[in-house]
Structure 1
């Protein structure tokens, strides 16, 4: 993970593909660019529930209007000429890339379906759905567009190139870094007025600013500005957590984890996570009570611990109950250490890859410390509650592009897709069953 030097430049392209020029930009002008740099971060939106078909070129709309008149008159279906079909696909493509450049089959289906709904005259003869051919054409169009983006150095595409694979792992399928958890800004390009060197200079300044007191706003602006650099490091270099913490210590705070999650997904983390747990609490409790067998007994014991007077304790029980319901051990999520000295606790934490720890004294109901562990490191400490710790762990999974722990994969999938409503259309059988029962 190497970065160096600082340069404020505009226009032109450096040998590495970064935007540069021999023209320097005045720092007074750049003070406004600090804010405008966030435009590249939020240039995309989450995939819409209903895909809106855009208006096409003037001549394309004219041809479609004439075809629509014939369709309304006698039901005549319209076979577009190659030029019109190309115009339609180009228009759809430009709308698609507002959201993502890797689309799923279901999303291509959604686009094609919306096209036929908007222009019924374009329905295909002999197709079960009326848009099967359009769906295939859309997928090919987006795929070809990615090839163009790769040639001009779009980082979200080039990161999947063979030259970016580790030595000895040159299979095209190895370590493909596509957005897989509904990330909207998975691997963004640098802001137009920035280079890797200028952003790294900001990162170095951030190291100093993050140590100063009452400097929250300056840190926020610098973290926003360096988002693209940070994401490219995470996705491209897959650094160890210890190395990444040394380069970006400001990220490992509750405020910045919340901000980073929103930059990546456009969805607020902590507020939505906790409110969704509360929203589904009654239905979760009903499901827990219906569960039979040994798991049902454990769930019943967990429910009995819930109290009306402590909302965090109730949320904690729900989260642990969710683990049990998904057939996973809540001790893999939260490990409590009672009356154990710091040396022994440190040894135990060293062996933890991913988890939450709680330190308590004998006979004390209040924890001394709650924190998150990644790769044997305490990355967060002194958290308010276990639900807050679970929230931050989910946020760090996104911020560091980490896989979910194998022994908690269904719990985290449920948290992501049901509660956070991210990529909720594609569910494993276990999570789909939970969702169906939860919304009955």
Structure 2
């Protein structure tokens, strides 16, 4: 698999079969705490869409990309409508983000633009900082030129451009390591970011707990009755479901959520 990756001589079907066949060994390496840097060397396909989607489905039973796209088709427009007509008039931070990104969105219509806008408005609604999820660099920036010390340790999308709407390319970083430096669209970049939390046993940072849990439950269809992926402090009681997430879901139900 390493030779195939280095020589770029493979098909998606070949990768799928090999990732499935070696799933147990991958999990063994991940569960024993192998560093992200070493995992990129031993299992490079795990950090590409062709490999991660297979590993994620073997692990969770959920089709990472297909599930997200299906839920975007059903729910994204209604969520944007809720933010515009109900939430923005009540919360200045949501209104500010809505106005800003309506201006920057430009000609980027359809699914990528809707998903970008949805994620940014979710962050604003929950009062969670964009900097914990996105790191912006020049449009021509190469992976080796990224200032790693400025990246969060948790999964982060490096945006090559002044905003997600104007980006020419995206990169994925985990543990302050660029693990994928050639992602051409926002939706795959975001799905790889989300999938990384599960594939590599990473807790949600407290700073992003509401946004990530809402997306987990409503867009990636992972709804455990107990347990949480949030890394709480020892003296802080962990809640089975974030009450702010439940409140937003209830509000959306009143706004004809299906």
**Which string of whole-angstrom CA distances, capped at 9 and with x for unpartnered residues, describes residues 98-143 of structure 1?**
xxxxxxxxxxxxxxxxxxxxxxxxxxxxxxxxxxxxxxxxxxxxxx
The 3-state SS of whatever aligns with 2:55 is helix
**Which string of whole-angstrom CA distances, capped at 9 and with x for unpartnered residues, describes residues 178-204 of structure 1?**
xxxxxxxxxxxxxxxxxxxxxxxxxxx
Contact kept? 2:168, 2:184, Cα under 8 Å:
no
Indicate how the Cα distance of structure 1 residues 339 and 270 shifts in structure 2: closer, same or farther if over 3 A, else same: closer
Contact kept? 1:307, 1:313, Cα under 8 Å:
no
**Which string of whole-angstrom CA distances, capped at 9 and with x for unpartnered residues, describes residues 388-415 of structure 1?**
2111111111111111122112111111
The 3-state SS of whatever aligns with 1:328 is coil
Match of 1:355 among 151, 156, 159: 156
The 3-state SS of whatever aligns with 1:211 is helix
Counterpart of 2:217 in structure 1 is 417
CA distance in 1, matches of 2:94, 2:150: 33
Counterpart of 2:194 in structure 1 is 394
Counterpart of 2:175 in structure 1 is 375
How far 1:223 sits from its partner (Å)? Answer: 1.6
Counterpart of 2:242 in structure 1 is 428
Indicate how the Cα distance of structure 1 residues 323 and 274 shifts in structure 2: closer, same or farther if over 3 A, else same: farther
Counterpart of 2:29 in structure 1 is 233
Residues 1:408 and 2:213 are matched in the alignment: no
How far 1:230 sits from its partner (Å)? Answer: 1.1
If the length of structure 1 is used for normalisation, what is the TM-score? 0.48
Contact kept? 2:160, 2:169, Cα under 8 Å:
yes
If the length of structure 2 is used for normalisation, what is the TM-score? 0.79
How far 1:299 sits from its partner (Å)? Answer: 3.9
Counterpart of 2:70 in structure 1 is 275
CA distance in 1, matches of 2:138, 2:6: 33
CA distance in 2, matches of 1:416, 1:343: 28
Counterpart of 2:91 in structure 1 is 293
Q: Report matched runs for 1:189-268 at 5 Å.
A: 206-216=1-11, 217-235=13-31, 237-268=32-63
The 3-state SS of whatever aligns with 1:382 is strand
RMSD between aligned residues: 2.7
How far 1:367 sits from its partner (Å)? Answer: 2.8
How far 1:387 sits from its partner (Å)? Answer: 2.6
CA distance in 1, matches of 2:67, 2:55: 15
CA distance in 2, matches of 1:212, 1:339: 27
**Which string of whole-angstrom CA distances, capped at 9 and with x for unpartnered residues, describes residues 352-406 of structure 1?**
32311111389xx753421111111111122122232111111111111111122
How far 1:304 sits from its partner (Å)? Answer: 2.7
CA distance in 2, matches of 1:373, 1:357: 7
CA distance in 2, matches of 1:272, 1:230: 23
Indicate how the Cα distance of structure 1 residues 439 and 299 shifts in structure 2: closer, same or farther if over 3 A, else same: farther
Task: Tell me: higher relative CO, structure 1 or 2? Use CA pairs within 8 A at least 6 residues apart.
Answer: 2
How far 1:423 sits from its partner (Å)? Answer: 1.8
| Larger Rg over CA atoms | 1
CA distance in 1, matches of 2:17, 2:142: 37
Counterpart of 2:237 in structure 1 is none
Counterpart of 2:229 in structure 1 is none
Contact kept? 2:132, 2:156, Cα under 8 Å:
yes
CA distance in 2, matches of 1:344, 1:223: 28
Residues 1:316 and 2:112 are matched in the alignment: no
How far 1:270 sits from its partner (Å)? Answer: 1.0
Q: Report matched runs for 1:137-176 at 5 Å.
A: none
The 3-state SS of whatever aligns with 2:20 is helix
How far 1:307 sits from its partner (Å)? Answer: 6.3
The 3-state SS of whatever aligns with 2:244 is helix
